[in-house]
Amino acid sequence: MLAYLVLADRRVPRARLAALLFADADDPLGALRWTLAQLRRALGVPGVLEGDPLEFGRPGGAEVDVLDLLSGAADPELARGELLEGIEAGVNEVFDAWLLVERRRLAGVCEGVLRDGALAALAAGRPLDGAALAARGLAVSPFDESVHELLVRCLAAGGEFGAARHHATECEVLFRRELGRPPDARVRHAAEPFVSDGRTSAVGDAAVARGQLDAGLAALAAGAAEPGVECLRMACAEARASGDRSLLARALAGLGAALVHAVRGRDEEGVAVLVEALAITDETGDRAVATTVCRELGYVDVQAGRGASAGRWLQRANGLAATDEERSAVLGVRGMALTDRAHYPTAIGLLRESVALAERGGNARQAAWSLALLGRAFVLRGDTREACEMLDRSLELVVRTGWVALQPLPESLRAEIAIREGDTARAKVLVDHAFSLGCRLGDPCWEAFAARATGLLHAASGDHEAALEWLRDAARRAGRVADPYLWVRAYCLDALADVAITASEDDAADAVEELGRIAAHADMREFVVRAALHRARLGDCAGVEPARLLAETIDSPLLLAEIAAVE
């Protein structure tokens, strides 16, 4: 009862709590009153848990581990065990369904806290302390390649190259035995000597470093990822050898961002570089670089589904941002993060502000990006008119600036609206172009978005066979790289589950199970609800009541209509 009340994000009516925990009692409300009295006595705090509805008001000075874990300054020592460890499920199906979701969610939070602690130790010159924290993280997520890579990287940075290579080998054995495939090559690559700036013979020329930094950034802007990264590696090497710490921080920030955005599958290397840059800004006081680094670290965590960790980085970036350009970029990522977790009103407000600041500063690309994300939020809520306006504005800016690298996102989302409106001809033109462009760009997210929309287009015409082929392909593409954007994979799995259930396909349950696991672990609230609805269509209704309660906290007319249809 205490765990449920502590983790509830709204006040809980007594009747609801009694039905949840004491449905089999002769007098559920009487059982609730007795248990509340025992709980108050155990807590020893006068006046707590009184009234109706019930709310856990945290007493002054009280330590509550889960609340501290979810706070903005979480201590790795709190990341231990699972929620209500040692307590076996079995109260009833509804409570068990709630407990499973919450255990998965808090396991994801623990993983993020331990990872952040390991990265901080690595940046502070204590790589073996970081290795210990990463090892604890593997106890939470034994098949997370990013955590294996981080552990190997920490061991290598501490000079323990033999141990690093040994763990990389053990990881490969584990993955082949349990998953039937090897881990990504980046795990073994991390066992090599830890250098962020390549294998150049740097002489310490600061002018050369600045020139390579400018050249690298220009190459990246032109779409030449690999040459740009190599220039930035050389810039880091020269800046490090020159002893100019401020220049080194700028070069590391540029390289880290390039590894995150321009080279798929290199997020963890990029994070290690960014964390080193941030540690240097603590010495130099370079606010602008620190802002960029914190935003990029938040972006990586958003894509990996580490919402609490992303929130900590983005809160820090928001406090550092001083210019319209900086604030617009940070607000865009914050809006993206909140949309992923279905906090739609707040996300929409932040994204609108991001667009306004970008337009005021003449930053058309940032405006286009934030408008596309704003359109996504409206699509998810079912606000067709608003979604069309935002996505059309985004596409106008994409065409005007020639930023084709973003184009598949607003095109795919605009196609989804056309499908809902029955305009299949327009939808086909949009998805065909989006998919073709996404493939040319080699971006798994854009490929997956377009493949998903193509699947929905076939489903709308009644061709379930073709729809399933496209939707399965969309889910595969979304998880193709070692560092996927988890929300996109969940988005594809949701559509696949829906059509597979309609078509009575054998793999429907597998899609639902993976969707539910990802959604709970990453605290993607709407997908937690949708997974429960899919399970109900498959005959398992235990999760519907917790899902309905969660849906009440999500401002989405589309979702509420789907909940009502199930009831």
CA pair distance 527, 41, nearest whole angstrom: 38
CA pair distance 240, 194, nearest whole angstrom: 14
Domain positions in the chain are 1-59, 115-295, 323-400, 407-567
- Asked which of 17-26, 292-301, 445-454 is least confident by mean pLDDT, the reply is 17-26
Q: Name every residue whose Cβ is closer than 8 Å to that of residue 362 and which is 6 or more positions away in sequence.
A: none
> What is the percentage of the chain residues whose pLDDT exceeds 70?
97
Average pLDDT over residues 437-454: 94
Please tell us whether the domain made up of 407-567 is placed in CATH 1.25.40.10: yes
Domains 323-400 and 407-567 share a fold: yes
Q: Does residue 220 carry a pLDDT above 80?
A: yes
pLDDT per residue as tens digits for the range 513-536? 999 999 999 999 999 999 999 999
Q: Name every residue whose Cβ is closer than 8 Å to that of residue 461 and which is 6 or more positions away in sequence.
A: 424
The pLDDT of residue 46: 74
CA pair distance 486, 521, nearest whole angstrom: 10
Q: 254 vs 143, 320, 377, CA distance in Å?
A: 30, 18, 30
Q: Does residue 330 carry a pLDDT above 70?
A: yes
pLDDT per residue as tens digits for the range 8-61? 878 899 998 998 888 888 999 999 999 999 998 888 877 788 889 998 888 777
Indicate the CATH number of 323-400 among 1.10.540.10, 1.20.120.1200, 1.10.1740.10, 1.25.40.10.
1.25.40.10
Indicate the CATH number of 115-295 among 3.40.1000, 1.25.40, 3.40.50, 3.30.70.
1.25.40
Is residue 54 helix, strand or coil?
A: strand
- Asked which of 22-26, 86-90, 344-348 is least confident by mean pLDDT, the reply is 86-90
Is residue 12 helix, strand or coil?
A: strand
DSSP category for residue 555: -
- Asked which of 56-60, 62-66, 180-184, 418-422 is least confident by mean pLDDT, the reply is 56-60
CA pair distance 378, 103, nearest whole angstrom: 30
CA pair distance 408, 271, nearest whole angstrom: 26
CA pair distance 497, 187, nearest whole angstrom: 32
Average pLDDT over residues 251-278: 88
CA pair distance 450, 495, nearest whole angstrom: 13
Q: 69 vs 108, 147, 173, CA distance in Å?
A: 11, 19, 33
Q: 507 vs 8, 285, 495, 496, CA distance in Å?
A: 33, 54, 13, 9
